[in-house]
């Protein structure tokens, strides 16, 4: 004999596939739960992956802390300041930088030149190896910034037709001001831009960084912007990027003065906060899919109670309690939920595995770029299945499925044996 409880045995027997209207509704209910769980898993995992990839790309090219002055003036004693910052136990790497916008002009051998307004980032090539992924992200050429050499982003090079060995004329804001003033003088000398050679092309995996930044040596940037032996700021990397607020407080108390420190979370708060809010809102909206699927379970159970009214009356006449009758139909709802959640979990994980293959297929069939890199800044669709999110989705879906069977089960439990046996 089976060791299963009486209620569960009866629920399993009633759920056996038969060519009846009730079995079709049950299969539709399972399918609805499966789709709801799968969609929730795919959407939440993609948004979690997008958030993680974006944070990794931001931290790969930018520092955890950015040390500048409140007034915006260059930092002259940056070497002493860097030593003070390095004395903090949580600081892993320190590097001075120059960062300003410029005006660039390509110098093609044939055709018209192209113009752009990128940011020129002056760095210490050796210190950068401990700070960012830039030295390891060269896809063409070399990581060489000796003399007037620069490395440019892959998207920037593609848009403006640049290759390794090409030259780029860069005007600083100071050059543009002098050119404007020279127009008022008749005997003024011509202002010539600095000429730079493209020694390498980098790809840090972020569209905005690949498009908007040109990187050169710290000395070249200081000469370009007339900073002398000063810098615009100091980048700081920590042992734990999520401890940046606490370390910022410690450094602010140690340094003081005109120094202003910002964290990577503050500088990118617009993107990161928008992602968190969007993920939470999407989770609640998509959970309504499960509520719709729960109505399918409720309708199937109501129909089933009506069809089994005489059987319910016989069970009560034989001594079955109202709780046992209720348990039969709740067990049915639970099993429908379990089947739907398990199949949805499998389908969702499978969809995540083949997400990029499906995305490329849809791009070819429709002719549209469904995940534009210019907007989302990633060439592939990221995803990260977090066990906590999966457990919350599956557990919440199972609870809703069980809740969907409460009303029909209560209705069945309230039936009186005599009235149920008279039912036709």
1: pLDDT confidence band, cut at 50, 70 and 90?
A: very low
Q: 111 and 13 in one domain?
A: no
Question: By the 8 A CB rule, do 353 and 42 touch?
Answer: no
Q: What is the mean pLDDT of the chain?
A: 82
Looking at the fold, whether 342 and 407 belong to one and the same domain comes out as yes
Q: Within this chain, do residues 76 and 41 fall inside the same structural domain, yes or no?
A: no
Is 111 found in the same domain as 230? yes
Compute the average pLDDT of residues 91-108: 90
Last residue of a domain, which of 238, 267, 296?
Answer: 267
- Of 242, 267, 292, which marks where a domain is finished? 267
- Give the pLDDT score at 65: 93
Are 19 and 162 in a shared domain? no
Q: Which pLDDT score is estimated for 348?
A: 92
Q: Are 340 and 30 in contact (CB under 8 A)?
A: yes
Is 334 in the same domain as 247?
Answer: no
pLDDT of residue 275: 77
Q: Please say if the pLDDT value at position 306 is more than 60.
A: yes
Query: Is residue 76 domain-shared with residue 36, that is, in the same domain?
Result: no
Which pLDDT does position 423 carry in this prediction? Answer: 54
Query: What residue numbers bound the domain in which 247 lies?
Result: 63-267
What is the torsional sign of CA 36, 42, 43, 45? positive
CA dihedral 42, 341, 285, 266 (to 10 degrees): -50
291 phi/psi in degrees, rounded to 5: -65, -40
pTM assigned to the model: 0.72
Q: Are residues 248 and 371 in the same domain?
A: no
C-alpha dihedral, 322 to 324 to 330 to 334, nearest 10°: 170
Are residues 346 and 206 part of one domain?
A: no
Tell me if 1 is assigned to some domain.
Answer: no
Q: Of 232, 247, 267, which residue sits at a domain end? A: 267
* Residue 178 lies inside a defined structural domain of this protein: yes
**Pair of tokens at residue 364:** 């070819």
Residue 130 domain flag: yes
Tell me, letter by letter, the H, E, C secondary structure of the chain. CCCCCHHHHHHHHHCCCCCCHHHHHHHHHHHHHHHHHHHHHHHHHHHHHHHHHHHHHHHHHCCCEEEEECCCCCECCHHHHHHHHHCCCCEEEEEEEEEEECEEEECCCCCCCCEECCEEEEECHHHHCCCCCHHHCEEEECCCCCCCEEEEEHHHHHHCCCCCCCEEEEECHHHHHHHHHHCCCCCCCCCCCEEEEEEEEECCCCHHHHHHEEEEEHHHHHHHHCCCCCECEEEEEECCHHHHHHHHHHHHHHHCCCEEEEEHHHHCHHHHHHHHHHHHHHHHHHHHHHHHHHHHHHHHHHHHHHHCHHHHHHHHHCCCCHHHHHHHHHHHHHHHHHHHHHHHHHHHHHHHHCHHHHHHHHHHHHCCCCCCHHHHCCCCCCCCCCHHHHHHHHHHHHHHHHHHCHHHHHHHHCCCHHHHHCCC
Give the number of domains in the chain. Answer: 2
138 and 224 housed in the same domain: yes
pLDDT of the residue at 342: 94
Q: What percent of the chain has pLDDT over 70?
A: 85
Q: Is residue 92 part of a domain?
A: yes
Within a domain: 133: yes
Assess if residue 158 is contained within a domain: yes
Average pLDDT, integer, range 311-319: 71
Mean pLDDT of 408-424: 67
| Shared-domain flag, residues 155 and 127 | yes
The pLDDT assigned to 257 comes to 78
User: Can you tell me the distance from the alpha carbon of 378 to that of 261, in angstroms, rounded to the nearest whole number?
Assistant: 29
Which pair of structure tokens corresponds to residue 115? 């113009």
What pLDDT sits at residue 376? 63
Same domain, 47 and 123: no
Interval 36-48: pLDDT, tens: 899 889 988 988 8
pLDDT digit string, tens, across residues 368-411: 776 766 666 666 788 888 899 899 999 988 998 888 888 887 87
Among 13-27, 231-245, 331-345, name the one with the lowest average pLDDT.
13-27
């Amino acid at each position: 004999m089976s060791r299963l409880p009486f209620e569960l045995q009866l629920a399993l027997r009633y759920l056996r596939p038969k060519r009846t209207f009730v079995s079709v509704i049950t299969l539709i209910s399972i399918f609805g739960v499966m789709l709801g769980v799968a969609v929730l898993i795919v959407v939440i995992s993609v948004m979690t992956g997008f958030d993680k990839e974006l944070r990794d790309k931001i931290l790969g090219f930018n520092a955890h802390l950015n040390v500048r002055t409140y007034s915006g003036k260059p930092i002259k004693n940056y070497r002493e300041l860097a030593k003070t910052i390095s004395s903090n136990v949580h600081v892993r790497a320190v590097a001075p930088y120059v960062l300003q916008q410029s005006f660039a002009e390509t110098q093609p051998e044939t055709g018209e030149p192209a113009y752009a307004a990128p940011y020129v980032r002056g760095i210490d090539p050796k210190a950068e190896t401990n700070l960012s992924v830039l030295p390891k992200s060269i896809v063409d050429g070399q990581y060489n910034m000796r003399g007037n050499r620069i490395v440019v982003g892959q998207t920037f090079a593609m848009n403006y037709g640049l290759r390794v060995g090409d030259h780029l004329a860069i005007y600083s804001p100071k050059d543009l001001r002098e050119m404007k003033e020279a127009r008022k003088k008749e005997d003024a000398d011509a202002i010539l831009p600095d000429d730079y050679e493209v020694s390498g092309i980098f790809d840090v995996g972020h569209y905005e960084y690949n498009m908007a930044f040109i990187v050169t040596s710290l000395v070249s940037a200081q000469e370009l912007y007339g900073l002398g032996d000063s810098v615009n700021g100091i980048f700081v990397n920590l042992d734990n990027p999520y401890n940046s607020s606490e370390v910022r407080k410690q450094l602010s108390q140690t340094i003081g003065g005109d120094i202003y420190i910002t964290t990577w979370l503050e500088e990118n708060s617009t993107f990161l906060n928008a992602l968190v809010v969007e993920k939470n809102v999407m989770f609640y909206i998509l959970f309504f899919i499960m509520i719709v699927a729960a109505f399918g379970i409720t309708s199937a159970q109501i129909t089933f109670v009506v069809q089994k009214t005489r059987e319910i009356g016989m069970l009560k006449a034989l001594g079955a309690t109202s709780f046992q009758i209720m348990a039969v139909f709740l067990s049915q709802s639970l099993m429908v939920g379990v089947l739907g959640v398990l199949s949805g979990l499998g389908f969702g994980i499978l969809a995540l595995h083949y997400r990029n293959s499906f995305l490329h297929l849809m791009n070819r069939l429709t002719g549209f770029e469904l995940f534009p890199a210019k907007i989302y800044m990633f060439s592939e669709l990221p995803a990260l299945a977090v066990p906590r999110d999966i457990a919350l989705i599956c557990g919440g879906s199972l609870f809703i499925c069980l809740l969907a069977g409460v009303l029909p089960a209560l209705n069945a439990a309230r039936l009186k044996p005599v009235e149920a046996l008279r039912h036709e």
